[in-house]
Amino acid sequence: MSMRPLRNLRIRGLYAITPDSQNTNDLLDGTQQALTGGAQVIQYRNKSADKVLRKEQAGLLLQLCRQHEIPLIINDHIELAIEIGADGVHVGRDDISISTARKLLPPGKIIGASCYNNLESALEAEKQGADYVAFGAFYPSTTKPDAIPVSINLVNQARQIITKPIVGIGGIRLINAAVVIQNGCDAIAVCGDLFQAENIKVRAAQYARLFAGKL
């Protein structure tokens, strides 16, 4: 299987974040459904896995994403992203800096940054070389129950001054996603409402339809 880098690394549409899972087969099956349904980006995030399992799962997810020509982003672990040749990393305020990540990663890789509810952080992230910025949580999140709440108006403000894609995250569900998109987010990051759905493929397709005409 070809593991050549992708040519189209634009961040847009449904940005699926994988759930913590020790069961690699379940993880791959769920991600396959999300991709088939229309996910445009996959982020591998597993806070419960050890280093060995993370490498195994990330490597298999990369193969799967390559089949669909969709980028795989690794949450936090830049060394893992480099080791398997993932398409990029996503960093938070307590992780490696964007400028350092840019120096460590091969050319052309994606760097995303969590900016929470801080517009200044987003401007600084863009200045340091981030390829997209993420704001949230817009709604109460089961993945991050202590996440800082964000007003939808922040996206309106950011849209005026940020040139990079904006990702909305935090408690996003099918019933509230349209508002986040309509207010200026290029992508929406979803974990629980996607991977806990009875039919992940159908749920992904429902999210994808919200971006009709925007991709």
Distances (CA, A) of 200 to 27, 105, 205, 212, 215: 12, 32, 9, 19, 21
Q: Which of 201, 199, 195, 193 is nearest to 172 (CA)?
A: 193
Do the annotations mark residue 47 as ligand-binding? yes
> Known catalytic residue: 114?
yes
Active-site residue identified among 21, 66, 109, 114? 114
Cis peptide upstream of residue 34 (ω within 30 degrees of 0): no
Do the annotations mark residue 143 as ligand-binding? yes
Do the annotations mark residue 20 as ligand-binding? no
Contact 37, 205 (CB under 8 A): yes
Q: Which of 143, 174, 202 is nearest to 19 (CA)?
A: 143
Do the annotations mark residue 31 as ligand-binding? no
> Known catalytic residue: 45?
yes
Active-site residue identified among 21, 45, 54, 66? 45
The 10 Å Cβ neighbour count of residue 158 is: 21
Do the annotations mark residue 44 as ligand-binding? yes
Do the annotations mark residue 201 as ligand-binding? no
Do the annotations mark residue 144 as ligand-binding? yes
Contacts (Cβ under 8 Å, ≥6 apart) of 86 = 44, 58, 62, 72, 73, 74, 80, 109
Do the annotations mark residue 117 as ligand-binding? no
Token pair in block for residue 214: 């925007």
The residue assigned the tokens 């298999």 is: 60
In the chain, count of helices (H) and strands (E)?
9, 8
Active-site residue identified among 144, 159, 173, 201? 144
Do the annotations mark residue 156 as ligand-binding? no
Do the annotations mark residue 75 as ligand-binding? yes
The residue assigned the tokens 């971006």 is: 211
Do the annotations mark residue 76 as ligand-binding? yes
Which positions make up the binding site for Mg(2+)?
A: 76, 95
Which positions make up the binding site?
A: 43-47, 75-76, 95, 114, 141-144, 171
Catalytically active residues are 45, 114, 144
